[in-house]
Each structure stands twice: as C-alpha cells, then as structure tokens.
Amino acid sequence: MNEIKIFSPATVANVACGFDVLGFCLDSVGDDMVIRKTDKKGIHITKIEGFDLPFEAELNVAGVSALAMYNAIDVDFGFEIEIYKNIKPGSGIGSSAASAVGSVFGMNELIGRPFNKTQLTEFAIKGEALASKCEHADNLAPALFGGFTLVKSISPLKILEIPSPNDLYATIIHPQIEIKTSESRAVLPKEVLLSNAIAQWANLGSLVHALHTSDYDLISDSLNDIIVEPYRSTLIPHFNNVKKAAIENGALGAGISGSGPSIFSLSKSEQTALKVKNAMNDIYSKTGIKFEIHVSKINTEGVKII
C-alpha cells in the first residue's frame, strides 16, 4: 500500500466539567487527507484545499507532527500529504488536532502500524503545539481513539478511553467569529476557589461514572463548568441564550467547545439533537453573525481509512 485516504474527525474538548482533560469525537465533521509514500525523502505537503495554510512542513500542523514521526523512523522514502480541510482553524472543534492526527495516523498505516495510538498522540502533540503554543492532547486523544477520552497526564502521556452511551448525540454551533487563543487564555484566572474546584471535580467524577453506567440524567446533572465558562462565555456572542435554548429543547447540557467560539450540546437522541439544532439556528439567524451547525453521533472509532 503506497497511498491512503483518511478521515480525520473534529472533536470537542473540555466538555464542561472536564477542562483540559476530557474530549469526545464527532463523525459528521472532519478533514479528509491523502498520505502517499514517495521516493523523495522527507515530508512534503503537496495540496491544501479548503483553507489557506502553509505548505512548508515545518510551519504546518500536519507537517510538524509528520516530521516528529518521520524523525523517529528510519526509512529510505518520504511522504506526501494532501489536506482537504473542512474544519475551520480557530473554530474550537479541534481543527489543528485533526490535521496533526491525520498525518501520523496515515503514515503509521502505510508503514505497517509500528506505533500504538498513545505513541501517535505523542507525535501529534508536536503539531498541536505549533497551533496552540502549548502541548496538550484533549482534542488529539478523542480524534485518535474515538469516543470520550480523558487525558490523565501529558508527561508521561496517559490517555483513558471512557465508554459512551449509544444514543448520545452532539449539536455544535460554530459562530464564524475569531477569538484569539491568547485572549481566551488571558481571561482565565491563575487561581480558583477551592470550593469551586471541589464542585468541578465532583462533576467530572460524576460524569465519568455516568458515561460508564449510561446514566443520561446524571450526564445532564454533571455537565456544569463553574471554573472556565463564567470567564470564556463572555467572549462568545449569545452564549447564554444558546445554552438556555439547547437545554429548554431537551439537551442534556451545553457548554463551550474547546476554547470556543463553538458551543456544544449533548442530547439523548438524534431527534432531540436536531431539535436543539433548530433552536440554535433560530437564535443565531437573528444576529447577523455567520454560523454553521453540526449534528453528530459520538464517533467511537476516531480517525479512519476511507
């Protein structure tokens, strides 16, 4: 096999109470990529469609993660990468993670899978770091493993696969505004009240338990973020209205996807997720802000060959 086409999915990181550690994988949104062995050594990005991104491997997220892996293997050939980007950079649904994951997943398949998914995440972290200026894996892990993942630690990298109930669907609205990463970081306090931290870890422990037991009511009860959302939601127009409408229309909960501006909600059925979509649509249609809405089952497979 000399060429492979893959689908690298969008992801939702943080998931309300799981700031910096939890994430889940989507299946209706993602990038397509072609990875091809080539006689010319090195990593060569030969095609980028969808968004204007650098072709130099060292400046491209997919290129940097590919280089990290390429430098760890000893081969007498190189790789070409074609990127068909559907996830807008800066959307808050793991655009850079999809790129970083896609190249290393595809290369690994072409050379007989010498690396496991945690090792692939290690390479992908290098690409993600180019985009976000710090090493984190809360979007990478769900993109690679699928389902819900909990990044227990970065060093050493430890990723846990949390089961997800069958009927769980996400609705995500992506307002087409830009929030600079630096800005979404700057609004966060360095210190938090111990009492708030306790409430947050009670919710996260509870959410992990709820996912294990397919307890939708408890999922709903646990989807609260009292640490980050009060700060970051101020950067997202109409956040509170969207969240309220989602819940009023049957969603189990809602919150900021990654560092925003996307807003995610989770629902118990596709029908409810579509109802939530309509409610979100009603609110944003009146704002004059361009937006996209995605409805997706939780993707338990992650990045895959297509």
CB of 23 to a second copy, least distance (A): 12
Strands in 169-175's sheet, in edge-to-edge order, are: 253-256, 263-267, 169-175, 291-297
Concerning whether 58 is annotated as a catalytic residue, the answer is: no
In 3D space, the residue among 135, 134, 130 whose CA is nearest the CA of residue 53 turns out to be 130
Tell me the number of residues near a second copy by CB under 8 A: 38
CB of 83 to a second copy, least distance (A): 32
- In the complex with a second copy, the residue whose CB is nearer, 21 or 170, is 21
Concerning whether 181 is annotated as a catalytic residue, the answer is: yes
- In the complex with a second copy, the residue whose CB is nearer, 114 or 189, is 189
Three-state SS at 161: strand
CB atoms inside a 10 Å sphere around CB 225: 21
- Using CB under 8 A as the binding rule, the residues of this chain from 154 to 173 that contact a second copy are 158, 160, 162
CB of 143 to a second copy, least distance (A): 19
Would you state the structure tokens that stand for residue 290, as one six-digit string?
């361009």
In 3D space, the residue among 230, 278, 279, 281 whose CA is nearest the CA of residue 256 turns out to be 230
- In the complex with a second copy, the residue whose CB is nearer, 103 or 257, is 257
User: Using the rule CB under 8 A, is 134 a contact of a second copy?
Assistant: no
On whether the CB atoms of residues 119 and 137 are closer than 8 A, the answer is no
- Using CB under 8 A as the binding rule, the residues of this chain from 227 to 286 that contact a second copy are 227
Work out the angle between the directed axes of helices 61-70 and 117-132 (0-180°, nearest 10).
Answer: 140
Could you list the beta-strand ranges (E) of 18-67: 22-38, 42-49
Q: What residues contact residue 263 under an 8 Å CB cut-off, 6+ apart? A: 172, 173, 175, 236, 239, 242, 243, 246, 254, 255, 256, 257, 280
Q: Which of 72, 75, 134, 198 binds a second copy (CB under 8 A)?
A: 198
Q: Which of 12, 150, 276, 293 binds a second copy (CB under 8 A)?
A: 150
DSSP β-bridge partners for residue 7: 32, 304
On whether the CB atoms of residues 35 and 163 are closer than 8 A, the answer is no
> Distance between alpha carbon 143 and the CA centroid of its chain, in Å?
7
Taking contact as CB under 8 A, which single stretch among the options 12-20, 60-68, 246-254, 295-303 is the one that binds a second copy? 12-20
User: Using the rule CB under 8 A, is 151 a contact of a second copy?
Assistant: yes
User: Using the rule CB under 8 A, is 207 a contact of a second copy?
Assistant: yes
- In the complex with a second copy, the residue whose CB is nearer, 17 or 26, is 17
User: Using the rule CB under 8 A, is 18 a contact of a second copy?
Assistant: yes
CA distance 67 to 247: 44
Taking contact as CB under 8 A, which single stretch among the options 19-27, 28-36, 232-240, 253-261 is the one that binds a second copy? 19-27
CB of 162 to a second copy, least distance (A): 6
CB of 60 to a second copy, least distance (A): 29
Which residues bind to a second copy, rule: CB under 8 A?
Answer: 17-22, 150-153, 158, 160, 162, 188-194, 197-209, 212, 218, 221-222, 227
